[in-house]
Amino acid sequence: MTDESSASASSDETIFRLTALWVLVLCIVALVTAGSPVGDVAYVVVAVLLTVGFAVAALARRLQPAKAWMTLAGGLVLLAIGDAIYTLPWDTDIGESGLTLADPLYVAGSVVMVLGAILLKGSQVGERDRESMIDACSVGLAVAVLAWQPLIEPRLTVVDVPSAARLVNGSYPMFDVVILAMMCWILLGARRRNATTMLMVAGTSSFLVADLIYTIRLDHGTIDDPSLAWLDTFWLVAYALYLLAVLHPSARAVARAPADRERTISRARLA
């Protein structure tokens, strides 16, 4: 039985390394072609491959809880479909709302991602780590405060934009912050640091960075500058990190509950 476990772990490690190499090649292709006539097509193809790959990997590896992993997969696929619609060469505006057909998919994908993170955390039965919850909330609050001025406020207060568009655009970075806080809660609540969770934290952080870059480009009127199209690769990096997270050997241990043990919270931490 030990030999079988060792062989399985070795196989998982080999698949992870090969996929990491494959992902790197895909991201380089998207980076090199960014801003060219085939750049949008390359971006969409890579995004779909990475997100569908996440779903396939979660199913193939039978990760538990299946509902949490497949919910995360559904959120990522919705975001990738939104990317595909956003890059369509024809008009996708929804009337006079200031929104495009991609926005409902982005919102739905973000909501589903939050739900997936909640389900993943909820699966850690026996883990009552209040300290980790406080730490995660502190991280989320700090990121929200830092993101307010450059990311959220400009989207909520921009002039000549319908209220629905301002609200939806301002919600994207907030969703990123919530998912980041949930992933930090999972990471900090474990007895041992888990590589899969760290990869998902990094992926969510990449989403946040991509949103920041997008907002800055909007403010400076360079959103359509082909020479800066390579910056969109940050979204692909986020998708790639999530795929690597689900393929990492430690993914099987994310929802594995440690012994039920309450830890006390020091007065210093509460202060």
pLDDT digits (tens, 9 = 90+) for 81-111: 999 998 877 778 887 777 888 889 999 999 9
Q: Can you tell me the distance from the alpha carbon of 242 to that of 245, in angstroms, rounded to the nearest whole number?
A: 5
In a 3-state reduction of DSSP, which class is residue 100?
strand
Give 34 or 156, the one with higher predicted confidence: 34
- Report whether pLDDT(126) > 70: no
- Report whether pLDDT(264) > 80: no
pLDDT at 262: 46
Q: Which residue has the tokens 């929804």?
A: 94
Q: Can you tell me the distance from the alpha carbon of 142 to that of 165, in angstroms, rounded to the nearest whole number?
A: 26
Give 162 or 82, the one with higher predicted confidence: 82
pLDDT band at 218 (very low <50, low <70, confident <90, very high): confident
pLDDT band at 58 (very low <50, low <70, confident <90, very high): very high
Nearest to 245 by CA among 159, 157, 146, 117: 117
- Report whether pLDDT(261) > 60: no
Find which of 14-28, 138-152, 164-178 is predicted with most confidence, using mean pLDDT.
14-28
The pLDDT of 205-229, averaged and rounded, is 81
* Peptide bond between residue 150 and the one before it cis (omega within 30 degrees of 0): no
pLDDT at 260: 44
Q: CB neighbours of 126 closer than 8 A, spacing ≥ 6?
A: 257, 258, 259, 260
Q: Are 16 and 249 in contact (CB under 8 A)?
A: yes
- Angle subtended by helix axes 39-60 and 66-86, to nearest 10: 170
pLDDT at 124: 62
Q: Can you tell me the distance from the alpha carbon of 243 to that of 117, in angstroms, rounded to the nearest whole number?
A: 15
The pLDDT of 240-244, averaged and rounded, is 95
pLDDT at 162: 80
Q: Which two tokens stand for residue 13?
A: 């490690």
Q: Can you tell me the distance from the alpha carbon of 271 to that of 262, in angstroms, rounded to the nearest whole number?
A: 20
Count of C-beta atoms within a 10 Å radius of residue 172: 22
Distances 179 to 189, 206, 210 between C-alpha atoms, Å: 15, 12, 15
**Cα four-point dihedral sign 42, 43, 48, 49:** positive
Give 168 or 10, the one with higher predicted confidence: 168
* CA-CA-CA-CA dihedral for 79, 84, 90, 91, to nearest 10: 0
Strands (E), the chain: none
pLDDT at 104: 92
pLDDT at 71: 95
